[in-house]
A and B are shown apart, each in its own frame.
Chain A
């Protein structure tokens, strides 16, 4: 292990070692990080050994700028916006990976976290190396956050110390929080939708209040209630954030005679409400990455059991819902903002 002070010479020393697949401890604007060439499989293996955490946990990478980032990830609008406004800075932005890093760097679902540190030493190293380096904290997993070199050395064993090739010492760093991690992949355009959903008869209504929206749910429910127990009834709700998908479900639950409080299922993904024999399953597909993940939440069984289901952000999982076109009654409800604050245009219909 070699220790150098922060400075011009440190950049050259680091680049030399990184090129050879070595492991370097370096300061950043947040805390001490540990870097290896993120495109070198051997070097990444060394890093995984150093961090002592099981495989499967991804590492973010430090790049010199947006141009370099785009060689490794696909930036959508949200990501580009964040880059423009907030990078360089203490932010890790997750995007879809182009799979150009060594195994073990990107996440299992093919996303990659990018950092552009607001710290010249690091960007200088990356620029000179011409490749990204890993940007993870220099402590071993589940150990103290490293703000000075002794924080690191005191918390690791000799085996781990032997893996360190170079330490760039910048003394005690100010106690800044680690970078904030933001996932932008949830805002990717939904490519799951299979063509336009054709409805047998489409109805439209103008809602002027949350009560209006709830009442509409009640009316639609009364129309299809007769099918309850014969087939599954699915309310597939589409609409921007804040249009009232949860309000619609509240009305549905009330109409069904369920007294339990209906709240947004965004966080829990699925809520179940029960009142005696009456039961409503309430899903939120917004955080689901892939259409068929609805299967993992037991959707096919619910259809088989002829359940009543409400799904918010249904367009994200349309592929799976549509598989049950014959088996279940699927009512597509689309809610759009109107001109005034409380106005909504709601259209609905059953699939052909």
Chain B
């Protein structure tokens, strides 16, 4: 099953060609192969930017796959969640191509893409996972723990009540004067800092049975802490970054751990996806959690698969195609608040 997939849910214009779970090409505009997000942080320009680049990105994806569009079996596109006007650009392109080349169309939820991103280029994992399993999507826009009954059947076990984890990290970086989005640089700073230097409250500590993620309280506490520590030195920034990141991760881990320990079934696998899972420290903590609970933790096979990309959409689309979940060209529509 060869699929061309398109994702324009937020800042990046992405297209990919996949065959089953194997990636043949994976093109992301605005991250190019290198410089992380240069000029890609102007979401208001998203629609115009997407329109300008979608043609080029799709062409490049097909060219790099060494296939011809005529030889593909289907076209997949993200319908949500995401920015409405941006989603429209990808959907229109997919419709245009589906009509022109008479291809089947698959509508994909962006979150399902992240959730299944560890399957990409990882053939043996597809048969290796024991269902039901858990999935964790942590990105700039979402923080969700998901029960995967089987591929295609999901239930949200916990989700953020306010800020997404990535958003909270970006915002605290910004409070430290590190610009925006600063989650990635916060991680670098945190490596040099001592997370025990300051005391920030772990959100809902002791009440993990509420099964929620929340970052608004610790964000405010961080703001106050920074105010009281001003003027900031390099040393202080390192420690504050380490401290916030640690507390944000502890909260995430504590809730996941509670849910695993109180699960009605034995959890064997945890699928992890989303931009924040590129954070080395978080991956370390999740692996540790896996070891302690005898759970196999699965991450995407390459860095490009963590952030927004279209290859993961292709993987999700492949499973949908197997279930014959196609959509008519005239019926496909954006769904900015799509849920899993």
Q: Do A and B come together as binding partners?
A: yes
Kindly identify which residue among A111, A145, A181, A187 contacts B174, using a CB–CB cutoff of 8 Å: A187
What is the minimal beta-carbon distance from A151 to any residue of chain B, in angstroms? 12
Report whether B33 and A241 are in contact in the complex, using a CB–CB cutoff of 8 Å: no
Report whether A111 and B39 are in contact in the complex, using a CB–CB cutoff of 8 Å: yes
Report whether B185 and A180 are in contact in the complex, using a CB–CB cutoff of 8 Å: yes
Given A136-B35, A290-B44, answer yes or no on A242-B216 (Cβ-Cβ < 8 Å).
yes
Give the residues in chain A near B181, CB-CB below 8 Å.
183
The binding surface of chain A is classed by DSSP as loop
Interface residues of B in 144-164 (CB under 8 A from A): 159-164
Interface residues of A in 64-105 (CB under 8 A from B): 77-79, 81-82, 85-86, 91-94
Kindly identify which residue among B162, B175, B185 contacts A91, using a CB–CB cutoff of 8 Å: B185
Report whether B43 and A58 are in contact in the complex, using a CB–CB cutoff of 8 Å: no
Interface assignment of B286: CB less than 8 Å from any CB of chain A: no
Give the residues in chain B near A341, CB-CB below 8 Å.
220-221, 224
Interface assignment of A247: CB less than 8 Å from any CB of chain B: yes
Kindly identify which residue among B34, B37, B182, B234 contacts A139, using a CB–CB cutoff of 8 Å: B34
Interface assignment of B300: CB less than 8 Å from any CB of chain A: no
Give the residues in chain A near B45, CB-CB below 8 Å.
108-109, 289, 293
Interface residues of B in 19-70 (CB under 8 A from A): 27, 30, 32-39, 41-45, 47, 52-53, 56, 60, 64
Report whether B179 and A85 are in contact in the complex, using a CB–CB cutoff of 8 Å: no
Interface residues of A in 281-332 (CB under 8 A from B): 287-290, 293, 296-298
Report whether B33 and A107 are in contact in the complex, using a CB–CB cutoff of 8 Å: no
What is the minimal beta-carbon distance from A226 to any residue of chain B, in angstroms? 28
Report whether A263 and B161 are in contact in the complex, using a CB–CB cutoff of 8 Å: yes
Interface assignment of A271: CB less than 8 Å from any CB of chain B: yes
Interface assignment of A113: CB less than 8 Å from any CB of chain B: yes
Interface residues of B in 208-234 (CB under 8 A from A): 216, 219-224, 234
Stretch at the interface among A10-18, A40-48, A49-57, A227-235: A49-57
Report whether B81 and A145 are in contact in the complex, using a CB–CB cutoff of 8 Å: no
Contact bitstring B167-197, A, C-beta under 8 A = 1, else 0: 1000100110111111011001000000000
Give the residues in chain B near A242, CB-CB below 8 Å.
171, 216, 219-220, 222-223
Give the residues in chain B near A94, CB-CB below 8 Å.
38-39, 179
Interface assignment of A165: CB less than 8 Å from any CB of chain B: no
Stretch at the interface among B82-90, B122-130, B314-322, B323-331: B82-90
Give the residues in chain B near A178, CB-CB below 8 Å.
34-36
Report whether A82 and B220 are in contact in the complex, using a CB–CB cutoff of 8 Å: no
Report whether A181 and B36 are in contact in the complex, using a CB–CB cutoff of 8 Å: yes
Give the residues in chain B near A180, CB-CB below 8 Å.
36, 184-185, 188
Report whether A296 and B84 are in contact in the complex, using a CB–CB cutoff of 8 Å: no
Report whether B85 and A81 are in contact in the complex, using a CB–CB cutoff of 8 Å: no
What is the minimal beta-carbon distance from A94 to any residue of chain B, in angstroms? 7
Q: Considering only CB atoms, which chain B residue lies closest to A274 in the complex?
A: B337
Report whether A181 and B35 are in contact in the complex, using a CB–CB cutoff of 8 Å: yes
Interface residues of A in 95-133 (CB under 8 A from B): 107-109, 111, 113
Interface assignment of B336: CB less than 8 Å from any CB of chain A: yes
Report whether A54 and B179 are in contact in the complex, using a CB–CB cutoff of 8 Å: no
Given A178-B34, A180-B184, A181-B35, answer yes or no on A263-B163 (Cβ-Cβ < 8 Å).
yes
Interface assignment of B141: CB less than 8 Å from any CB of chain A: yes
Given A182-B178, A264-B162, A341-B221, answer yes or no on A145-B141 (Cβ-Cβ < 8 Å).
no
Kindly identify which residue among B27, B30, B38, B337 contacts A142, using a CB–CB cutoff of 8 Å: B27
Size of interface on B: residues with Cβ below 8 Å to A: 60
Give the residues in chain A near B237, CB-CB below 8 Å.
85
Interface assignment of A160: CB less than 8 Å from any CB of chain B: no
Interface assignment of B307: CB less than 8 Å from any CB of chain A: no
Report whether B337 and A297 are in contact in the complex, using a CB–CB cutoff of 8 Å: no
Give the residues in chain B near A92, CB-CB below 8 Å.
35, 38
Report whether A264 and B167 are in contact in the complex, using a CB–CB cutoff of 8 Å: yes
Report whether A182 and B185 are in contact in the complex, using a CB–CB cutoff of 8 Å: yes
Report whether B180 and A270 are in contact in the complex, using a CB–CB cutoff of 8 Å: no
A58–B45 alpha-carbon span in the complex (Å): 15
Report whether A269 and B43 are in contact in the complex, using a CB–CB cutoff of 8 Å: yes
Interface size bracket, A side = 35 or more
Interface assignment of B135: CB less than 8 Å from any CB of chain A: no
Give the residues in chain B near A207, CB-CB below 8 Å.
none
Kindly identify which residue among B39, B83, B178 contacts A268, using a CB–CB cutoff of 8 Å: B83
Give the residues in chain B near A288, CB-CB below 8 Å.
43-44
Report whether A137 and B162 are in contact in the complex, using a CB–CB cutoff of 8 Å: no
Report whether A113 and B38 are in contact in the complex, using a CB–CB cutoff of 8 Å: yes
Report whether A82 and B36 are in contact in the complex, using a CB–CB cutoff of 8 Å: no
Give the residues in chain A near B179, CB-CB below 8 Å.
78-79, 82, 93-94, 182-184, 186-187
Give the residues in chain A near B222, CB-CB below 8 Å.
242
Report whether B10 and A267 are in contact in the complex, using a CB–CB cutoff of 8 Å: yes
What is the minimal beta-carbon distance from B278 to any residue of chain A, in angstroms? 11
What is the minimal beta-carbon distance from A144 to any residue of chain B, in angstroms? 7
Report whether A137 and B34 are in contact in the complex, using a CB–CB cutoff of 8 Å: yes
Q: By CB atoms of chain A within 10 A, which of B41, B44, B160, B185 has the most?
A: B44
Give the residues in chain A near B42, CB-CB below 8 Å.
109, 287, 289
Report whether B33 and A143 are in contact in the complex, using a CB–CB cutoff of 8 Å: yes
Report whether A145 and B56 are in contact in the complex, using a CB–CB cutoff of 8 Å: no
Known pairs A58-B39, A107-B38, A241-B174. 6 more at Cβ < 8 A?
A57-B38, A85-B237, A244-B216, A263-B160, A268-B141, A269-B44
10 A-B pairs within 8 Å (CB atoms) are namely A57-B32, A78-B179, A82-B177, A85-B234, A183-B179, A267-B167, A272-B337, A287-B44, A289-B42, A337-B223
Residues of A within 8 A of B (CB): 53-54, 56-58, 60, 77-79, 81-82, 85-86, 91-94, 107-109, 111, 113, 136-137, 139, 141-145, 178-184, 186-187, 210, 240-244, 246-247, 261, 263-264, 266-273, 287-290, 293, 296-298, 337, 341
Residues of B within 8 A of A (CB): 10, 27, 30, 32-39, 41-45, 47, 52-53, 56, 60, 64, 81-85, 140-141, 159-164, 166-167, 171, 174-175, 177-182, 184-185, 188, 216, 219-224, 234, 237, 336-337
For the complex of A and B, list the 8 residue pairs with the smallest distance between their C-beta atoms, beginning with the closest.
A182-B179, A293-B44, A267-B141, A242-B220, A107-B39, A137-B34, A242-B223, A81-B177
